[in-house]
Structure 1
Amino acid sequence: METFDFIEMKVPAKAEYVGVVRLSTSGIANRMGFTYEEIEDLKVAISEAMSNATTHAYSNGEQGEVTIGFGMYEDRLEVMVADRGGSFDLNNVKSETGPYKSDQSIEELREGGFGLFLIEALMDKVEIKNDYGVIVLMTKYLRENEVDVNGDQISTTP
């Protein structure tokens, strides 16, 4: 069984806490060695999942919270954003989630359609569980910097 560190946060389901989660994401991803661009992608994807949860999960002034879980593996970061429920049992969540399919009705995923397409574009893998509330499980793989001599350079001049 592979080892990993797990960090869990709970924040009120209010838009003003998205920034707190973005800062935490940035710190965790930076510590793991992700590039600046990858960290920005992670922050946007997680912001979208958070915004979906804070906008659509609770109504009629209901005070809710969003739970964010970070699974820090050697080769990847797995991030869960859930708008209902308690703490994560990571293995249980993973066994019950399935891949997001773009043919699923947008209503099923709480009108968060565009945000989910954006998340899917920015992350390597996206899975959704929506039995009671919505759990979005996003994975970003940590890649070694693979720039060879003439690989990803804009020009050939040093």
Structure 2
Amino acid sequence: MKEQPLDLVNLVIPAKTDFVGIARLAVSGIANRMGFSYDDIEDLKLAVSEACTNAVDAQYTDGEGDIKVCCNIFSNRLEIEVMDQCLYDDDLENPAIKALREQDLGLYLIESLMDQVDVQEEGGVVVKLTKFIKENGVKEHAGSPASYPT
């Protein structure tokens, strides 16, 4: 059985560069509340911004349409899906997939910042970003100096 998220936050923004910052802020707030480190929050913001900007650039040259950002909150990770719903001619390659290939640096950046990245075509393009919460510091039960052999 597929694991269900603890919470789900959906955000729909206009496909315009002016609104990409809203997605960044929402993801930042969610990640902060989940206990991600400052560096991981910055990585999440940059990856989401890159995915949203790609959707704006590749799909919506006229500024029409929406981008959906779905944040699936799990106990150990945050899964973010950035989806456009642009319809394209089936005889032509999907422009967002083509743009991802052409902008290898952008996709490379996203992949280097996230733990997992998956790109799918589902009535548009879905970029799924996964970041796991990392344990910081020494665990509480790691053993105290009194437990060390002498």
TM over 0.5: yes
Alpha-carbon displacement from aligned partner over 1:22-78 (angstroms, at most 9, x marks no partner): 11111000000000000000000000000000111123x251100000000000000
| 1:2-151 correspondence runs (5 A) | 2-59=4-61, 61=62, 63-84=64-85, 107=98, 109=100, 111-147=102-138
Q: Where do 5+ consecutive residues of structure 1 fail to align?
A: 86-105, 149-158
Shift of 1:143: 1.3
Structure 1 stretches of 4+ moved >3 Å: 108-112
Cα 1:110–1:147 change in 2 (3 A) is same
Alpha-carbon displacement from aligned partner over 1:54-112 (angstroms, at most 9, x marks no partner): 111123x2511000000000000000000117xxxxxxxxxxxxxxxxxxxx7263633
Amino acid at match of 2:82: V
TM-score when scaled to structure 2?
Answer: 0.77
Cα 1:131–1:125 change in 2 (3 A) is same
Superposition RMSD in Å: 1.9
- Shifted more, 68-77 versus 112-121: the winner is 112-121
TM-score when scaled to structure 1?
Answer: 0.74
Q: Percent identity?
A: 45
Amino acid at match of 1:139: T
Cα separation, 1, equivalents of 2:132 and 2:35? 11
Q: How many residues in Structure 1 have an aligned counterpart in Structure 2?
A: 127
Q: Where do 5+ consecutive residues of structure 2 fail to align?
A: 87-96, 140-150
Amino acid at match of 1:54: V
Cα separation, 1, equivalents of 2:13 and 2:128? 17
Who wins on radius of gyration, i.e. which is larger?
Answer: 2
1:80/1:136 contact within 8 Å kept: yes
